[in-house]
């Protein structure tokens, strides 16, 4: 089996930056055609410059009514791959939680991912072709840290829903898996490290590079993972084993 994706249409959410943008780059190099989705228009334009030929869609996936804009952007085509990489990861102690914080995180990380998967799976099913959905979760769903109540809940929910999707979509030839990264050196993480006095550009021990997550997502989206379904792939250098 090959990891080539020549001609396949891949929808990548959270594609303006971080893990999503890195995954999109991997899929492009493997020959996929891309629809890049994010609510950050400037970031999407920059990503498109790096991936000539990609189509972009400025969209907030927290809005349930995304079917119209998504269908228009696809212009009659059906995706073969969906990467759900959009996500928010703020911190707040439970005693300080308020409804806007909770809703914002759950709406993007869980509701938005489920809605995107629902729409993509319907298109894959109706087209009568095999497909792959990869949800980007987090080790916080397994080993949540202080201040991460909303985030951990959203990612734990996404892990559970990934396995429900795998059961429900498999009769249509659609595989659904998730990647659960530990800390990743995205631009947001880099800023936080430097703000805390860390060395500019340096990744502390135990922090992955986005490319290390993207390689796993690319594998799961490809035919090389043809018998992988309903799996949650932890990518954290073994850190959860020592806790």
Catalytic residues: 151
How many whole angstroms separate alpha carbon 96 and alpha carbon 51? 41
Which residues are CB-neighbours of 206 under 8 A, at least 6 positions away? 182, 183, 236, 237, 239
Strand partners, 176: 133
Q: Of 7, 13, 10, which Cα lies nearest the Cα of 218?
A: 10
Token pair in block for residue 209: 């590079």
Q: Which of 10, 15, 23 is nearest to 42 (CA)?
A: 15
164 vs 210: CA distance, rounded Å: 27
Phi, psi (deg, nearest 5) at residue 181:
-75, 155
């Amino acid at each position: 089996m090959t990891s080539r994706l020549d001609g396949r249409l891949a929808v990548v959410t959270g594609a303006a930056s971080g893990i999503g943008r890195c995954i999109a780059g991997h899929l492009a190099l493997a020959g996929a055609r891309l629809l890049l989705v994010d609510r950050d228009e400037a970031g999407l334009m920059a990503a498109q410059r790096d991936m000539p030929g990609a189509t972009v869609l400025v969209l907030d996936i927290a809005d349930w009514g995304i079917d119209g804009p998504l269908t228009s952007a696809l212009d009659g085509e059906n995706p073969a791959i969906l990467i759900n990489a959009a996500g928010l990861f703020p911190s707040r102690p439970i005693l300080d939680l308020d409804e806007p914080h909770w809703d914002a995180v759950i709406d993007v990380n869980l509701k938005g991912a489920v809605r995107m998967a629902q729409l993509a799976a319907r298109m894959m099913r109706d087209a009568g072709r095999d497909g792959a959905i990869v949800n980007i979760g987090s080790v916080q769903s397994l080993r949540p840290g202080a201040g991460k109540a909303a985030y951990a809940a959203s990612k734990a929910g996404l892990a559970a829903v990934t396995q429900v999707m795998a059961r429900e979509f498999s009769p249509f030839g659609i595989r659904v898996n998730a990647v659960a990264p530990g800390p990743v050196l995205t631009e947001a993480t880099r800023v936080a490290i430097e703000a805390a006095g860390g060395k500019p550009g340096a990744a502390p021990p135990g922090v992955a590079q986005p490319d290390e997550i993207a390689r796993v997502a690319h594998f799961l989206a490809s035919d090389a993972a043809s018998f992988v379904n309903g799996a949650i792939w932890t990518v954290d250098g073994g850190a959860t084993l020592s806790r």
